[in-house]
Structure 1
């Protein structure tokens, strides 16, 4: 890790509950990137998702996100030695652990934290590995294994924290069943807590939330949309976004004692910016509600604006690798549905007024290679009375005769 003025680069450890490559965490990443020296060596560990067929696509989206939104040129690497900034995110915690512990990565990650040098950012599945034990989420939630723990990297032990880390702590995707606590739910987590070594606490990180630990000053900050929960069998403390405390105070909370945390009103720029962001799932719901209200009120122009806004959000979230609540795929499905309904709900006159904006949207879809969506929009316009013809000079539209 590089040095500034002959001194070791200050260290920072960041754990994220989710949203690591989404707009919600941009300011958190930027706050860390500002600590780095010029020409910093930034690496991405793809191990947690290396078993997936779309591994290269996930890495490409992540690299694009960090380059465009954070200003970091990141390369995929198998090791972390000499890196100024290290990031790892979604996938399977146990798949990552098995490979990191079989090679030098596990030891190198522990050495970074112990030496308190460099920036180490672990999110979602990778964050799961940071504690004394790790929840094998894939095996329990998706394959039906009995609730159990696997040994973790224990990166927080040099900081005096005997904890397990549970990302996605406030997940609510289950609807009719409990998917909190990284899809474990209360019943399974309560059972698993009884199997932890004595004195071990749970650090629960909400989605689109991060905890930043300055390894030099030992200052701790919670940033983003949710909170950090310190859970023990007999006590529970919730630190909302904007909370600042010392590492010593966090240790006492993890041990079951109290802490004097700065009130959440004292927000840093990273916390405040993260708190203002909305998730893609919230945007999807809002656009759908606006569309339905516009259709019910006979306002096709407002309905079209809702579709256009959803398309803009799809572009903004296109680099997201975690895709909570269905993510970009769910938004694309909804947009196709709304496009079809637009043609059915709008009057001929309404669609005629919207021909210009809708053709602009169709052009954007075609340029992005989303030809099926572009064709669906053309068909929807046809059902509303506007016929679209592609010519060498560009698309032309005409209204269907009465």
Structure 2
């Protein structure tokens, strides 16, 4: 039987979205057979919808990764352990009061099994943790909480900050897991002198192979090593060694560390598209279709958006471009379609149907299919639309209503 791999995966966000499917598959595949997989629901266990979040996550891993997952806190001996969104400090309190914290450290120290920590759970992996709920949502003074320091077991002196490139704030700075530059700069000074910040962008994963001693960045963004005003960014597609990452932490990113892959962006796979980007694309297609009076294309854009939302339905994150925001867009598009159908002017109501048919009739005439073209005109006439051929091209108008 092959030796079980030892991998620690830290994700900035998107852990149960289409963007991270290939990352999950890459670390599950070497486990073979039917691995024992545990979902640690602790970070969100206090939420009223905790059971729903767990159900969606289990469905995601079963459908997209082929992994049957149990929910619980018995991680000892598990082949694969996952934890994701919620409150970092709530998770820390529960884990340090039980055997979970020790079990997680033992897994990383021994390089045994796959451990995937994302979003809130990723915050806990370093020597210090961002209490994001308390600072961003409650208004507590910026400051760190003690972390699990899983990274310390492999010689990395760092605090992990997911959602590093978050842009939800629009007019205010929500980078760095909603801290913004002002608060992060203040908090950096409170870290030990030899410690750095590891910032992981959204829809990005850092894969640390604890046995091979390698580090790989995958996804859409990058890994930022930041210390005392200096930083180094390892973009997606980069690879280095654990020793190299230790050196970057020690020097604030200024060390002469060999990073493979980042110098050849033309060979990287194209980044996965997020739901926010897909939603914007389909909304743009809808607008363009309405400007062209093409209701078929507008309807197709609405249906494609609904299909995309269904693909993302298991996503347990609620960052920018979440499922609910996209559903709001979908509802607005459907309302606009309905208003078009209810237009008071019969010409406006009929144009989206008639004009594509006239275009089809013109192409038939150009090909010499006059009988077919006449059939289209007769069908339109039967539907109450009069077509006239003029030197400038065909024109049409609704038939006058019969006199009573």
Same fold (TM over 0.5): yes
CA shift digits 1:132-178 (9 cap, x unpaired)? 00000000000000001000000001211000000000000000100
Shift of 1:263: 2.5
| Equivalent-residue separation in structure 1 for 2:176 and 2:271 (angstroms) | 24
**Structure 2 counterpart of 1:249, from 221, 244, 247:** 244
The answer to whether the Cα contact below 8 Å between 1:135 and 1:150 also exists between their aligned partners in 2 is: yes
Give the structure 2 partner of residue 349 of structure 1: 350
Give the structure 2 partner of residue 263 of structure 1: 261
The answer to whether the Cα contact below 8 Å between 1:295 and 1:345 also exists between their aligned partners in 2 is: no
- Under a length normalisation based on structure 2, what TM-score does the superposition of the two structures give? 0.83
Give the structure 2 partner of residue 20 of structure 1: 15
Give the structure 2 partner of residue 298 of structure 1: 293
The answer to whether the Cα contact below 8 Å between 2:160 and 2:197 also exists between their aligned partners in 1 is: yes
Give the structure 2 partner of residue 390 of structure 1: none
Give the structure 2 partner of residue 340 of structure 1: 335
- Under a length normalisation based on structure 1, what TM-score does the superposition of the two structures give? 0.83
The answer to whether the Cα contact below 8 Å between 2:340 and 2:349 also exists between their aligned partners in 1 is: no
Instruction: Give the match's secondary structure for 1:34.
Output: helix
| Equivalent-residue separation in structure 2 for 1:35 and 1:125 (angstroms) | 26
| Equivalent-residue separation in structure 1 for 2:34 and 2:65 (angstroms) | 14
Give the structure 1 partner of residue 278 of structure 2: 283
Range 191-200 or range 289-298, more displaced: 289-298
Instruction: Give the match's secondary structure for 1:108.
Output: helix
Confirm or deny that 1:317 pairs with 2:315.
no
Relative to structure 1, the CA distance from residue 350 to residue 218 in structure 2 (aligned partners, 3 Å threshold; closer, same or farther) is farther
Instruction: Give the match's secondary structure for 2:75.
Output: coil
The answer to whether the Cα contact below 8 Å between 1:281 and 1:324 also exists between their aligned partners in 2 is: no
| Equivalent-residue separation in structure 2 for 1:196 and 1:27 (angstroms) | 34
| Equivalent-residue separation in structure 2 for 1:276 and 1:261 (angstroms) | 20
CA shift digits 1:80-134 (9 cap, x unpaired)? 0110000000000000000000000001000000001100000000000000000
The answer to whether the Cα contact below 8 Å between 2:9 and 2:117 also exists between their aligned partners in 1 is: yes
The answer to whether the Cα contact below 8 Å between 1:301 and 1:350 also exists between their aligned partners in 2 is: no
| Equivalent-residue separation in structure 2 for 1:351 and 1:27 (angstroms) | 42
Give the structure 2 partner of residue 379 of structure 1: none
Confirm or deny that 1:46 pairs with 2:44.
no
Give the structure 2 partner of residue 203 of structure 1: 198
Report 1:172-187 matches (<5 A).
172-187=167-182
Instruction: Give the match's secondary structure for 2:187.
Output: helix
The answer to whether the Cα contact below 8 Å between 2:294 and 2:352 also exists between their aligned partners in 1 is: no
Larger radius of gyration: 2
The answer to whether the Cα contact below 8 Å between 2:208 and 2:216 also exists between their aligned partners in 1 is: yes
Confirm or deny that 1:142 pairs with 2:112.
no
Give the structure 2 partner of residue 122 of structure 1: 117
Relative to structure 1, the CA distance from residue 314 to residue 86 in structure 2 (aligned partners, 3 Å threshold; closer, same or farther) is same
Range 146-155 or range 299-308, more displaced: 299-308
**Structure 1 counterpart of 2:58, from 63, 66, 72:** 63
The gaps in structure 1 that reach 5 residues or longer are 354-400
Shift of 1:265: 6.1
Shift of 1:32: 0.5
The answer to whether the Cα contact below 8 Å between 2:295 and 2:353 also exists between their aligned partners in 1 is: no
Give the structure 2 partner of residue 216 of structure 1: 211
| Equivalent-residue separation in structure 2 for 1:199 and 1:253 (angstroms) | 11
The answer to whether the Cα contact below 8 Å between 2:12 and 2:204 also exists between their aligned partners in 1 is: yes
| Equivalent-residue separation in structure 2 for 1:231 and 1:73 (angstroms) | 37
| Equivalent-residue separation in structure 2 for 1:265 and 1:318 (angstroms) | 36
| Equivalent-residue separation in structure 2 for 1:316 and 1:349 (angstroms) | 34
**Structure 2 counterpart of 1:235, from 230, 247, 262:** 230
The answer to whether the Cα contact below 8 Å between 2:79 and 2:113 also exists between their aligned partners in 1 is: yes
| Equivalent-residue separation in structure 2 for 1:30 and 1:351 (angstroms) | 45
